[in-house]
Each structure stands twice: as C-alpha cells, then as structure tokens.
A = this chain, B = another copy of it.
C-alpha cells in the first residue's frame, strides 16, 4: 500500500473546499458573493475617506445563472494589483492590523473562483484610479494559484483616466438560486445600511425592483489607524516576529516601541519580574529569557487599556438612531464597553437592546442582531459567542421572557475578529470577548427593566388617577349641594393637582 503525497496550491485547496468559505450551495453562494463584493466596496471607500456610494445589481443570465454587478466610488485598485487581487488566494491589501470588514483577504477571489467553477466565465473588472483606467477580464489558474488576464499584457488595457471619476466596477457571473437567497440578501443590505448610515446603497433585483438606502449621515466615522499589538495575551510566535523587526534595540526600549500601552515604567517592571537585564540587545536574548519575558507580559495586570484609534465603533447615539429608524421601537438603549484586548488584538463591544415597535420574535426565542466590524452576520448564529451569552441570562430578572418583543444587538469591533469560518458566519468563544458581551447585555437589560417598571408604574398611576377623579367628581357635586356658591371646576382642578402630586411621589 503506497501513499500518494501531494502538495496543493491554496487556490486548488479552496476550490475543493468552497463550503468552508460560505459557498455551500447555490443559495448561500450567491448571498456570500454579494456580501464579499459589497464589503470590499465599503472597505475601499472608507479606507480612502470617501463617503460610500455603491450600486449593486443582480441580473438573470440564464436558468440558475446570474450576473452580480457592483460599482463603487472608492479610490480604484492600481492596475498592477488588479490581477492578483482577484486571481490569487492569500494576496490582499487587508493584511494590516486595523478594523476593516475584510478579514481573510480572500472573499473576492473566492467569489471569482466560484463563478469560474460554476460558469467558466471570467470576472470583468474596471478599476478607475486617480490617473488610470484598467479594463480587464480575469480567470484563475487554480492549480498554480495565479491570475490569467485578458488581455495577457494588462498594460494594453490601461488608459489615462480623464473622466474625473474614481471607483471600481465588477461584473461576476455565477450559478445561484436568487429566489431562495433573496430574503437574506435584502435583510443583509438593510442591516448594512442600518450600521453604515453614511453610505448610499442602491440595489436592483433581477426582476427590476429597486431598493435605495439614502445617506442619513453626511460624515464618515473616524478612519481607524493601523495599530501595534497590545501586550495582553501575546504569544511567543508574535513576540519573535516583533523581535526580528527590531533586533538592535535594548529590550527595555523594544517593549515600548513594539507594543501599544507599554511605557518605560511598565517595561522595566515586566523585565524585572522576568529577571532579564533591560539593557540587553534584543538579538542577544536567549530562548529561556524570551519565554520568561512573554510569561511576565501575560501575567502583568497593570497595562493601560488598548488604544482605540485602530477601531471604529458605531457610537451609542448612532447605533440607537439606526435601530430606531429601522425597528421603530419605543425603547432603545445602547452602551459601548471600554476597549479591551484578546491575544494582542484590541476590541470594543457595543450592546443595544430594543423593546416594542416592529420587532418580530418567534415563540420562546430571543431576537439577536449580530454585527462585527459593521458587517451583519445572518447565518449560523447558534454557535456564536453572543448566542451563548444570551442563553445564560436569566431574563425573568429583567422583567421579560424569551418570546417577548425585545431584541438584543451586539456589535464587535476589532483589528482581528475571531471568526470560526472563513465564510465569516460566526464568532469564536473567546473568554475576553464573551465577558464584555455579557457585561454589556446585563447593563442594557437593567435599563430595559427600569423602562418596563416605569411603564408599569405609569399605567398603574393613570388607572389610579382615573379612579380618584371619579370620587372627586362625586365629592365635588355633594359639596356643591351642601355649600352654596362653590366653583365646582376649580375644586376639581385643585383635587386633581393634589392627586397627581401624590402619584408622582409614588412614581419615583
């Protein structure tokens, strides 16, 4: 029995494992393709500080064959990077440490590959940068993990850009089941608009129906900056990589330069506990010393919280406004938790709760909206870290039960969202993240309880006022019989004032 050892290219590997990237079947595949393209467009605009305007269109080309066309007003992709950006797995502009929707840098290429596998058609890209327009068709040589362009020499398809416009337009042909994916695609676009109210998104369905989400806010959230790793939860591998970039520094200076949230004092303290000479050069450290430093970093408690400049949370106000606009809830409360870190990655959790309005809940369930770096997550929620948190909460203590008309919203922002699938369907159970979600949910749940209690008291008060006023009516008319010349309305008014005053005291 001889075993056959083989090496595969990344493209070859993923072409045989499309399921792990969200291309399980024609329904999920068309949904995932739309998602990946839309997310790339929004990321491109935001990175370039441009208010996004995205036109999305799906056309039917044949039985079960669709064309997705997407056009954005981003900065365009430089012609020399176009072929590999769409035709090579593990080639991307997303491999930097800051908050962005793209995480794996492979979604666009996977969509192109899925289109090619199911229809054998190339993707058509028109990229307009400030100075150039590139108009290319791209297929993937899957065995070699490399792009095949038409024309072969891309510079034949590049001309000067004198239109004054910038942006990228993509036309992708693929097999799909639009009818069955429709509901999720519409929901995805709606929730994207909710969490990116500064973007204008138009969508034309295959039957011609149009959906337009206008811009609601005329400014972009602050652009996240590239971050240094936070020392909390750092591992040996990352530490060695950072060392390799700065081998000649003294280790005490190295710690301050390589990490965020470490000052000179902390650096010396950490090294002291690790029993390492702070003046030693980084490239002179022995492997035992390195191990001790990492251990000491991981045990240290007093780090400053992570710098939030690499993150772009929604903000409580904008998040609440977004929810109110879409769900018309009577009560909405959002809270933003302070920045934390897991495994060196800064993150911020925002949690909101809404009660009433157009919230539709199934019997015995809790409605959960999940967002990660402004991406709505619609599939595979059952194993998600947020779902795990909601299951553990004793909702009775907060005056509600599963099935009541309330909804929980969780938005996780991080330089590195720990998705469990390459299709970005759900988030891993990281203790640090779980804890922040838990704390956030408790906070907003308490606010909801207060609101519901107040509502309850208000109802009681109104009922009580009504009853009292009936007695007051009777009382006044008896009085007017006994005492001459009395002003009934005046007395009723005064009685009412007194009662309202008393009830208000009770309402506190």
Which of A's residues lie within 8 Å of B, judged by CB?
Answer: 1, 3-10, 13, 15-17, 19-20, 24-25, 47-49, 75, 81, 84-85, 88, 90-93, 95-96, 104-105, 116-120, 142, 235-238, 240, 287, 290-291, 380, 382-383, 416, 418-423, 425-426, 428-431
**Min C-beta distance of A389 to chain B, whole Å:** 14
A contact face: mostly helix, strand, loop, or mixed: loop
The reply to whether A5 and B237 contact each other, CB–CB distance below 8 Å, is no
Beta-carbon contact of A419 and B20 below 8 Å: yes
Q: Which residues of B contact A116 (CB under 8 A)?
A: 237
From B3, B88, B383, B418, give the contact of A93 (CB < 8 A). B3
List 13 other contacts, CB 8 Å, given A25-B430, A117-B235.
A3-B47, A3-B93, A4-B96, A13-B104, A15-B237, A17-B422, A19-B420, A20-B419, A24-B428, A25-B428, A117-B237, A382-B383, A420-B423
Nearest 4 CB-CB pairs, A to B? A382-B382, A117-B237, A3-B93, A24-B428
> A287 — which chain B residues lie within 8 A by C-beta?
120
**Of B1, B17, B91, the contact of A5 (CB 8 Å cutoff):** B91
Instruction: Chain B residues near A10: list those with CB within 8 A.
Output: 10, 13, 90
**A432 closest partner in B (C-beta):** B25
**Contact A119–B8 (Cβ < 8 Å):** no
Residue of B13, B117, B380, B422 near A90 (CB, 8 A) is: B13
CB-defined contacts of A430 to chain B, threshold 8 Å: 24-25
Of B9, B85, B93, B423, the contact of A4 (CB 8 Å cutoff): B93
Does A24 lie within 8 Å of B96, measured CB to CB?
no
Cα-based distance from A426 to B117 in the complex (angstroms) = 24
**Across the interface, do A85 and B236 meet the contact criterion of CB distance under 8 Å?**
no
In the bound assembly, the distance between CA atoms of A383 and B431 in angstroms comes to: 21
The distance in angstroms between the C-alpha atoms of A96 and B3, with both chains bound, is 10
Task: Determine the residue in chain B with the shortest Cβ distance to A93.
Answer: B3
14 contacts between A and B (CB under 8 A): A4-B96, A5-B85, A6-B95, A8-B105, A10-B10, A16-B416, A17-B422, A24-B418, A24-B429, A25-B429, A117-B237, A120-B240, A382-B383, A420-B423
Q: Closest CB of chain B to A129's CB: distance in Å?
A: 11
A7 lies within 8 A of B236 (CB): no
| A91: chain B residues within 8 A (beta carbon) | 5-8
